[in-house]
Amino acid sequence: MSMLRSPQSQAGILSFYDAQQPGPKLNPKVVLIAVTAFVVAVLVASHFINF
């Protein structure tokens, strides 16, 4: 029995995401913590600076 392949894998779209790209490799936890800290900083700043 042959394997069923989706059109995306045949077009090479899925292999595009597997390719190694140059640049920094970031841990998702670090990104989540940084975004959360930024949101908290903006909320605190908006509390003290009333427009």
Structure tokens belonging to residue 34: 């940084």
Place of tokens 């059109």: 7
pLDDT for residue 50? 73
Structure tokens belonging to residue 48: 């003290």
DSSP category for residue 12: T
pLDDT per residue over 1-51, tens digit each? 455 555 555 555 555 556 677 888 889 999 999 999 999 999 999 988 875
Rounded CA gap, 2 and 17, in Å? Answer: 25
Is 47:40 a contact under the CB 8 Å cutoff? no
| Model pTM score | 0.54
pLDDT for residue 1? 47
Residue 3: phi and psi, rounded to 5, are -75, 140
pLDDT for residue 21? 75
